[in-house]
Amino acid sequence: MKLYVYDHCPYCVKARMIFGLKNIPFEMVTLLNDDEETPVRMIGQKMAPILEKDDGSFMPESMDIVHYVDKEFGTLAITGSANPAVANWLKEVSAYLNHLLIPRYAKAEFSEFSTPSSRAYFAKKKEAAIGSFEQHLNNTPALKAQLEEDLLKLDALIQSPEACNGELSVDDIHLFPALRGMSIVKDVHYPTRVDAYRKTMSKRSGVNLLDSIAQ
């Protein structure tokens, strides 16, 4: 199977995770961010991730891919119950998180931005959506302080480094991509349980953290 992704994309991380968690081989193809033709040819619109199945058909939507791979290949991996508190935490953080992340993604050395036009395409689209990158970057101290305050709240919810609720659940598929995104922000202090969780889930899923390119 082939999985078409953008490296920075949290939805793509969700789809990548299930392959790693189940140790299922796949080919990962990173699309250029301004390549509209390829995804439109596959599914009729520009979006990622896209799974190309063994029969040559295409499946979009990250959670559809997650549930398909989990159910069709081997023993179920996602068997735990969700905790509404985790979903609520993610909802609260999502109100400001992209203001920290997207301006940094736009400058980072991701494969989807390997041409000037692909980087410019991303910057134009995202700045139109969230506002001035420069303004958000200048607001980093306040945003980072809010994030660290919220991470302390998350720390109280983490039950195990192996799975946030003690048993692998959809909460892990939603939570780890957010934490992985946060790792592009330089010098964020992670509470003990959050830090152990994000590092363990990175290893289990095979999806790298972004600490090495943090800005």
Residue 35 pLDDT: 98
The per-residue pLDDT for range 105-124, each reduced to its tens digit, is 999 999 999 999 999 999 99
Percent above pLDDT 90 for the chain: 100
* CATH 1.20.1050.10 fits domain 84-213: yes
How confident is the prediction for the chain on average, in pLDDT? Answer: 98
The per-residue pLDDT for range 120-138, each reduced to its tens digit, is 999 999 999 999 999 999 9
Tell me which CATH code domain 2-72 carries: 3.40.30.10
Domain ranges (residues) in the chain: 2-72, 84-213
The per-residue pLDDT for range 27-64, each reduced to its tens digit, is 999 999 999 999 999 999 999 999 999 999 999 999 99
Residue 116 pLDDT: 98
- Which one-letter DSSP state was computed for residue 115? S
Confidence of residue 170 (pLDDT cuts 50, 70, 90): very high
Percent above pLDDT 70 for the chain: 100
Residue 95 pLDDT: 95
Q: In CATH terms, are 2-72 and 84-213 the same topology?
A: no
SS (H, E, C) 130-180: HCCHHHHHHCHHHHHHHHHHHHHHHHCCCCCCCCCCCCCCHHHHHHHHHHH
Q: Are 98 and 130 in contact (CB under 8 A)?
A: yes
Nearest CA among 99, 187, 175, 178 for reference residue 143: 99
Confidence of residue 74 (pLDDT cuts 50, 70, 90): very high
Over residues 186-215, mean pLDDT = 97
Over residues 163-187, mean pLDDT = 98
Cβ-proximal residues to 156 (8 Å cutoff; 6+ apart), any chain: none
What one-letter code names the amino acid at 16? Answer: R
CA dist., res. 122 & res. 8, Å (int): 11
